[in-house]
Structure 1
Amino acid sequence: MKKSEHFQIKSVAPPGMTDSLSHYRVNCDEIFYDSFFIEQLRLEKLRAQRSKSTLSIILLTLDKEREGEFINMLDVLSVVRKKIRVTDICGFVNHKTIGILLPDTNEEGAKEICAKLINGDETPQFSATTSSYPDAIFESLAKTGSIRPDVFPFALESSIDASWFKLLLKRGVDIVGSIFGIVILMPVMLITALAIKTTSPGPVIFKQIRLGRQGIPFTFYKFRSMHVNRDDQIHREYVRDLIKGDRAKINQGDAEDPFYKLKDDPRITKVGRFIRKTSIDELPQFFNVLKGEMSLVGPRPPLAYEAEKYQAWHLRRILEMKPGITGLWQVEGRSKTDWDDSVRLDIRYIQSWSLLMDLKILLKTVNVVLTCRGAV
């Protein structure tokens, strides 16, 4: 939960330095603003993920109305360091923002520390923003079914360092590929729509809210494979056990040949069973790709109630990249891979994706679909 306050820290210009903030900014950018604090933030976030502990941040940002005055940010940093704990990490985020990392500290604790930095001065000099990871993210999921864009103040990961040109090419491939898929497979989609409509009551297209990049919800399209108005409790319980790693409950195969997917789901129609096994039910997602909500290749988009059960490190699969129709998990693991390993495959893709890798995954997907490997 994001919380902003204001406080005043008085400072004076050091001898020999002009009262020009722009002059000081140049010095600050060149001398003090480097990657140290951001790298520390990433390291602490990874540690929090491994230990399942909470990480909080306080950002102290120079108010706009004071930007015309000289502010000695070194003095501010010195004052801040005296007021925080020795285990906290403090540094420059940019020329007008100081960040304080608070390991093993929840949102309530962050607010208490923030309160120590605030005094009763009537002319605020800095705004103080507190945010916690991952508690605010999970709270946002539970309340709204999405992740608010402000739950963490700035990006935590550097894995997606592709140039804008590569991202533009990926989007171009998505547009061309989705149009090609829609045109070529339109006869299959029309036959499927007719089969669904004539064998069970209800809409042809099943619409569902899923979470895309940064946890932003979007309407996800599939051919309807289930009877309408069926309770989803069976799936909720299976997802809960899957993410918890309770293999005894979730393994629908055996020890030597595990299968981590619901086999006997009573909600599925006869036509639905066929289109699921052949992956035909996924074809309407080409329209999601064309709209820019998904990519041809990427992590799978989860339901909100799935993401609520995630551990902190699981969130990387939805925070950093657009979801895809297919992905590394689908071609290398699919139903034979347990939850944590499937997330690791998604993260591996996020860390090392390239257009060539996307092409290889798309070609492998054709083989997986034709052989119905891992489908049910």
Structure 2
Amino acid sequence: MLKEKERVVYNFLAVFDALIAWIALDIAFYIYFGQYTFLSNKDSIILHLVVLGLWFFLSKAFRANEIYRSRPYSILLFNVIGATLMGVGVLALAVFTFNLHYIGITPLMYFGGVCAFMLFSLKVIFFTYIKSARRRGYNSRNILIVGDVSAVTFINQVLKYKEWGYRIIGVVGDEELKERMGDVVTILPEDTDVGKIIENKTIDEVIYCQEKARMEDIMTLLTSCNELGVVFRMSSPFFNMLTNKTHLHYFDTTPVLTISNTPMDYLMLKVKSVIDFLVSFTAITIFSPVFIGIAIAIKMTSKGPIFFKQKRVGMRGRKFWVYKFRTMVTNAEELKAALMEQNEMDGPAFKMARDPRITGIGNFLRKTSLDELPQFFNVLLGDMSIVGPRPPVPAEVREYERWQLRRLSMKPGITCIWQISPNRNDVSFEDWMRMDLEYIDNWSLRLDFVLILKTIRTMFRADGK
């Protein structure tokens, strides 16, 4: 019954949003064209009907039609702006596709501004009224809390924020909780039959809030709530570990809670892979003369092969060969052992400002990062990405601390946050690792785009070692 009521209310609010968008379209067109346009021609009528249906769908898709009891208005603003941008984008595409040049893009921009302003303003007024009514005791929901002393913070929040519209009927808890909160709420004994209470009293929601959750108690409460149509909620310190990378996965019909602190957006990761391939192919094609020029310069200035290949560690420990333009003498690896005492990098990585193994042309290639260009072939092969943590050598990985191994949870890249840092040559190994983890935790296509642009700037700055 509650879900059916909620569905009806949300559908009504979505229709309301669609009508506001309709009115906003008329206002915007009147501002731009100076006349009422709805009945002016067939295309205008069709456009109004499209807006009506489109905004009904977008309102539900962006959850702009939902009534938030406790979320801030910033979430509402984000949802409204997101729905408006998507809607204006679809309309602009339709105008372009069907050659509706007399409508144009500018009126649609007017419409987007008017629509977002009207929707957000009216919703703020509506929600402000609702919250005010809740503070006065109207449209409130009766809740029963089952908890221990860890529920004190939640209880205080419910008592403080009356605009949430929750009224605590009772709290089933232990003696410690009674000592802390017995003066402000009704504390019921631990052995209280919760099923009987929700059966005999007006209870809209049961909230389970215990630090050490007992599965048998949860299943008993959940069964009683399901039988009586009461909403069951659960709070636990365990949920502090859950982020937006948490979802419910199904193995056939078996639900499994999946938690990951690495990117799991399948579609966006596939888009990243497609972009990697296209950018790499384009870069190799465009810079082919540069490849040839560097190859000739290497051959003319030092003995040995043009390319340097080295085994590196990729995603989740996979080994692969990484390719670079050779910047050192051919026996560089043998000489490395004798230079370890002069290592300027803490941790397992090796870095030296005036490394005697680097050739003349190699010094230039490293400063400009042009020695990394052959790694576009690694990207084409699927071993690397354009942006991602730099691939380490196996010897470094063997010396990683446990928390540092998470940098191997994403495909390695040609560039990342460390490469574009102004003081990258002085960054400690631990800070370097934390920068890679920061990239993993905040990954997005937008972040990749920004890092690529900053990498180009860094190449022109030529301050690498």
Structure 1 segments (4+ residues) deviating >6 Å: none
Q: Report the number of matched residues.
A: 221
Structure 1 residues not aligned, in runs of 5+: 1-27, 44-93, 96-155, 251-260
Change (3 A) 1:217 1:302: same
Q: Give 1:299 deviation, angstroms.
A: 0.3
Q: Give 1:233 deviation, angstroms.
A: 1.4
Give the match for residue 326 of structure 1. Answer: 415
- Tell me the secondary structure at the aligned position of residue 310 of structure 1: coil
Give the match for residue 233 of structure 1. Answer: 337
- 1:125-168 Cα shifts (integer Å, max 9, x gaps): xxxxxxxxxxxxxxxxxxxxxxxxxxxxxxx9712243211111
- Tell me the secondary structure at the aligned position of residue 209 of structure 1: strand
Counterpart mapping for 1:175-190 below 5 A: 175-190=277-292
Whether the 8 Å contact between 1:223 and 1:284 is mirrored in structure 2 is yes
Please provide the CA RMSD for this pair. Answer: 3.5
Change (3 A) 1:265 1:182: same
Give the match for residue 371 of structure 2. Answer: 281
Counterpart mapping for 1:296-315 below 5 A: 296-315=386-405
Change (3 A) 1:368 1:301: same
Tell me which of 146, 157, 167 is aligned to 2:269: 167
- Tell me the secondary structure at the aligned position of residue 242 of structure 1: coil
Whether the 8 Å contact between 2:345 and 2:428 is mirrored in structure 1 is no
Counterpart mapping for 1:222-301 below 5 A: 222-230=324-332, 231=334, 232-234=336-338, 242-243=346-347, 261-301=351-391
CA distance in 1, matches of 2:259, 2:412: 17
CA distance in 1, matches of 2:276, 2:371: 19
- 1:219-238 Cα shifts (integer Å, max 9, x gaps): 00000011112312156556
CA distance in 2, matches of 1:241, 1:176: 35
Change (3 A) 1:290 1:158: same
Give the match for residue 299 of structure 2. Answer: 197
Q: Output the TM-score relative to the length of structure 1.
A: 0.53
- 1:309-332 Cα shifts (integer Å, max 9, x gaps): 1111111111x1000000011112
Whether the 8 Å contact between 2:344 and 2:353 is mirrored in structure 1 is no
Q: Output the TM-score relative to the length of structure 2.
A: 0.43
Q: Give 1:352 deviation, angstroms.
A: 0.9
Counterpart mapping for 1:100-115 below 5 A: none
Whether the 8 Å contact between 1:242 and 1:338 is mirrored in structure 2 is yes
Change (3 A) 1:169 1:196: same
CA distance in 1, matches of 2:347, 2:281: 35
Change (3 A) 1:184 1:266: same
Whether the 8 Å contact between 1:236 and 1:305 is mirrored in structure 2 is no
CA distance in 2, matches of 1:158, 1:190: 44
Letter in 2 for 1:168: K
Q: Give 1:336 deviation, angstroms.
A: 2.6
Whether the 8 Å contact between 1:240 and 1:306 is mirrored in structure 2 is no
Counterpart mapping for 1:1-376 below 5 A: 158-230=260-332, 231=334, 232-234=336-338, 242-243=346-347, 261-318=351-408, 320-332=409-421, 333-373=423-463, 375-376=464-465
CA distance in 1, matches of 2:315, 2:357: 29
Q: Percent identity between the aligned chains?
A: 42
CA distance in 1, matches of 2:317, 2:392: 9
CA distance in 2, matches of 1:285, 1:340: 25
Change (3 A) 1:337 1:157: farther
Structure 2 residues not aligned, in runs of 5+: 1-215, 221-234, 243-250, 253-257
Q: Give 1:239 deviation, angstroms.
A: 6.3
CA distance in 1, matches of 2:345, 2:368: 26
Q: Give 1:180 deviation, angstroms.
A: 1.2
Higher relative contact order (CA 8 A, sep 6+): 1
Change (3 A) 1:295 1:235: farther
Q: Which structure has the greater CA radius of gyration? A: 2
Letter in 1 for 2:303: P
Change (3 A) 1:281 1:242: same
Letter in 1 for 2:412: P
